[in-house]
Amino acid sequence: GVEELVKAGLAVEDAKGFEKGLRDAIARTVGSDPKELWRELTARRLLRPSHPHAVHQLVYYAVYANYDASTNGPPLYWFPSLYQSKYTNLGRLMETHGSKLLGASYKDPVTSFSLFQKFSAEHPEVYWSIVLKELSILFHEVPKCILDTSDTSKHGGTWLPGSVLNISECCLLSTSYPRKQDDGLAVVWRDEGCDDSQVNHMTLKELREQVMLVANAMDAIFSKGDAIAIDMPMTVTAVIIYLAIVLAGFVVVSIADSFSANEIATRLRVSKAKAIFTQDFIVRGGRKFPLYSRVVEAAPNKAIVLPGTGKDVDIQLRKQDLSWNNFLSSVNHLPGPNYFSPVQQPIDSMTNILFSSGTTGDPKAIPWTQLSP
């Protein structure tokens, strides 16, 4: 009622108008399906971004008060229009393949969603073959099947058994379908502390060449399968390093740049990392916060150190460590430093080691493979 809306942050007159709109929406809704009522509320734009979040919560939970999530799934919040749905990844896929897969039963991404979902579950070989092509997944040895459920001891079965690929290579190659061209946009970013500067752009070709340069530099130092940590902010260079580690057949160890020296040390020890990419400083709000010093305190692992600002690091490094510039210059003698032959590995090869929070002891390693997100 009005009183609850006022408590949630609306002015009295606004609350009265809102309640009237709510009653009108209820009157327009056929039956008592809470999903249809919520759809009506969103269609009428009764709730607006300017309303306090508490108002959104109040109405949402009131509408779905008697909704059985165990039977019907999570209560829906957003209902895309037909126009919006056609521009989602799934909507585009359905528009391209829906009629071919479902025949005359296919109407549009909204009307035919449940039917298409049912088809995907009943025909995984057909559906996932389409999705893998849509994702530009390139196999160097194709899988024996999409999903092997013959071994009942493996919960959920085995996906893409027998396949060999490099998932980083799949990100970097241009393809005719879907349209992923060398001169197409791959990364958009703005450097920390440069909020008023222009946005930076990198094409797919530029990204691939940068990744392969870093992969060559790593390949000259480390052995295939080595774990290599990244402890730095999510910059465009961090993305390049991540892709290069996987491209060259190594394993990423993900470490948050907010961690203390002890937390860094534990993760380096558990993962048996051979080296770590980091920055001299982290720049936040115009201030510089030390990061390399925490890595030094954590462990003697070789560190490749990037500058937080400028073109070179602003601190003295240990003898075993390398500045980013010296690391890259180590492959200048190669005839093609911007080309690297990707290391092809089985689908279940590790690509990344993440960690649990470690609140009850040492953090537990969580391995990701080429099948992981």
> Which residues lie closer than 8 Å to 315 by C-beta, 6 or more apart?
280, 281, 292, 293, 305
Of 71-80, 114-123, 216-225, minimum mean pLDDT range = 71-80
Mean pLDDT of 163-168: 98
Mean pLDDT of 215-222: 97
Task: Identify whether 282 is part of a domain.
Answer: yes
Domain extent at residue 53: 2-72
**Residue 30 clears pLDDT 80, i.e. is over it:** no
Q: Of 46, 72, 98, which marks where a domain is finished?
A: 72
Task: Identify whether 136 is part of a domain.
Answer: no
Mean pLDDT of 192-208: 89
pLDDT of residue 369: 97
Task: Identify whether 54 is part of a domain.
Answer: yes
Q: Of 51, 72, 93, which marks where a domain is finished?
A: 72
> Tokens standing for 93?
């896929």
Task: Identify whether 289 is part of a domain.
Answer: yes
Q: What is the tally of structural domains in the chain?
A: 2
Highest mean pLDDT among 28-37, 45-54, 178-187, 272-281: 272-281
Of 16-20, 61-65, 77-81, 293-297, minimum mean pLDDT range = 77-81
Residue 40 backbone phi and psi in degrees, to 5: -65, -40
Task: Identify whether 350 is part of a domain.
Answer: yes
Quick one: which of 241, 233, 191, 234 has its CA closest to 215? 241
Of 42-46, 60-64, 304-308, minimum mean pLDDT range = 42-46
- Give alpha helix (H) positions in the chain: 2-7, 12-28, 34-43, 53-63, 69-72, 82-85, 89-102, 113-122, 124-134, 167-172, 204-219, 236-247, 261-271, 292-298, 324-329
Mean pLDDT of 304-315: 91
pLDDT of residue 263: 94
Amino acid at 40: E
The enclosing domain of 307 has a CATH number of: 3.40.50.12780
Task: Identify whether 203 is part of a domain.
Answer: no
pLDDT of residue 268: 96
pLDDT tens sequence across 219-264: 999 999 999 999 999 999 999 999 999 999 999 999 999 999 999 9
pLDDT of residue 73: 84
Task: Identify whether 255 is part of a domain.
Answer: yes
**Residue 373 clears pLDDT 70, i.e. is over it:** no
Which pTM was predicted?
A: 0.85
Q: Of 41, 72, 103, which marks where a domain is finished?
A: 72
Task: Identify whether 124 is part of a domain.
Answer: no
> Tokens standing for 309?
């600002």
**Residue 36 clears pLDDT 70, i.e. is over it:** yes
